[in-house]
Structure 1
């Protein structure tokens, strides 16, 4: 009888999908996957293929092999400054904005007065697009009645915060960090709320101070949040476009790879093959950072 019961339970566990179940799967799973393939991976693979061609978007497509990449490295002056700016953007967000967001999350998690107000205020820039942040930066940093130059009373000789190629990239990174910090703060704040309080109590009993408790007990438990924050930081820094394009179309010291892609693909030149080569370089750099970090995190989780 026990055997018959187990067989009936097995048959119930292997229940066949009905047509309605299959229809629900197709709608809820198949359509999003199809859209992802068409909208994301389709253009991505097309860009990889077009990067080895010469095409203006209208005429015939001519296969030229790696000529676009050779010209990109050897004969395209804006390329290397754009690479440096993207890497500088990544370093600034990763080493300045992200730790600052973590610091704010820790302070708010400790229950400071008016923490709800601080949390809402610091998160508010996240709802703004970077294009809007760029326009706001123009109002604050502009030479013509800009807020900072007005406060400094530099009417006769105003500082060109956005036009001077030596400092404008730093101003744009500060503006982007204003938005990025709030995002990181919310992610870490959610992670800190999920930390088991008994871990902190045990560390206090063992004689650990607040700093030691955070570094040796709390922060290691935030590894899943660290992965998310790291991936978001890489994506945000390498896809930066709208904030610099809103200021001066990404020129005069604000060159980024995303701007070069736009200028070549939809600009007057219409060099779609050449622009696709820049897009492939940006994709490769992005995947290199993300895959390397995820592999290291997965190895660390497996070793534990």
Structure 2
């Protein structure tokens, strides 16, 4: 009796890839990997190697060991102010701009009137580069022709961008204006995906709006928190164009990225020394990101209450009501 099973169904074992399949797979995977190695990891490893040398970009490369790092930490005055400004940048974006973006997302998620207009207005700075934001800051904060001093109409106008005690805060406000809209959109997307039944169960248990947010909604936003945290660290440590557009990163606006550019591309052309600064910036960035991700992964595995919240199991009155309905 002939078998009713089709010949194609009787075949067993893994499907063999044809030469065309292997070629397409190799092209689709190989080109991005090669591009990543050439653009990202190639220059990174080259910077690490050059940081132990003395080279002006033209002559011979001279091996100097750790002398660049020793000079950087002990005999290079702009380094520590730049490092302090980078940490201040990170603290401002992480502790002020990011929570403010979360607050705006929560308010818009509640369905206020003209929410579409507010979303578009608050997100508009994100489409601008930080260099453009820097030019806008100059138009507003310039000492002689700035809009802010024109509105204040003072006899002795304030030099918002020229005073080293003020300009870093003004630039931080401009950068935070752009960062807030980005964070708001990310959190708004996360809030739209929160299960409404969790909020209803918490309300039945007698939880207020604040308790519901911090104990139910915020734990479910952990994946968004990871993304926002990493983006905040990257934005703070790679900041360059906004301060360079204002005053080329000098007079109180020094950043590590500006020092890298000044030493590698500037008149000195100390490529080895500039590479050492770049390696320090790389290590600091990786340190913050790895520590943050490890902490988030550990928090994701504890405690039992969070797991119950994710599964929608909220004990108390909500559970009792569910049992009564089943009866």
What's the TM-score, normalizing by structure 2?
Answer: 0.89
Task: Map Cα deviations across residues 173-225 of structure 1 (whole Å, 9 max, x no partner).
Answer: 00000000000000000000000011001101111111100000000000000
Q: 1:300 and 1:50 mapped to 2: Cα distance?
A: 39
Q: 1:129 and 1:30 mapped to 2: Cα distance?
A: 31
**Aligned-pair CA distance for 1:10:** 4.6
**How many aligned positions are there?**
297
Q: Helix, strand or coil: the match of 2:89?
A: helix
Partner of 1:273: 272
Q: 1:52 and 1:19 mapped to 2: Cα distance?
A: 46
Q: Helix, strand or coil: the match of 2:159?
A: coil
Partner of 2:231: 232
Asked whether 1:291 is paired with 2:279, we answer no
Structure 2 portions without partners, runs of 5+: 304-327
Q: 2:43 and 2:224 mapped to 1: Cα distance?
A: 30
Q: 2:273 and 2:138 mapped to 1: Cα distance?
A: 31
Q: Helix, strand or coil: the match of 2:215?
A: helix
Q: Helix, strand or coil: the match of 1:162?
A: coil
Give structure 1 regions of 4+ aligned residues with deviation exceeding 3 angstroms: 7-10
- What is the 5 A alignment of 1:178-197? 178-197=177-196
Q: 2:37 and 2:144 mapped to 1: Cα distance?
A: 47
- What is the 5 A alignment of 1:3-22? 8=10, 10-11=12-13, 14-22=14-22
Q: 2:289 and 2:18 mapped to 1: Cα distance?
A: 40
Q: 1:152 and 1:201 mapped to 2: Cα distance?
A: 49
Partner of 2:24: 24
Asked whether 1:201 is paired with 2:207, we answer no
Q: Considering only aligned residues, what root-mean-square deviation do their CA atoms show, in Å?
A: 1.4
**Aligned-pair CA distance for 1:9:** 6.5
Q: Which is further off, 14-23 or 226-235?
A: 14-23
Q: 2:19 and 2:302 mapped to 1: Cα distance?
A: 44
Partner of 1:221: 220
Q: Which protein has the larger Cα radius of gyration, Structure 1 or Structure 2? A: 2
**Aligned-pair CA distance for 1:24:** 1.9
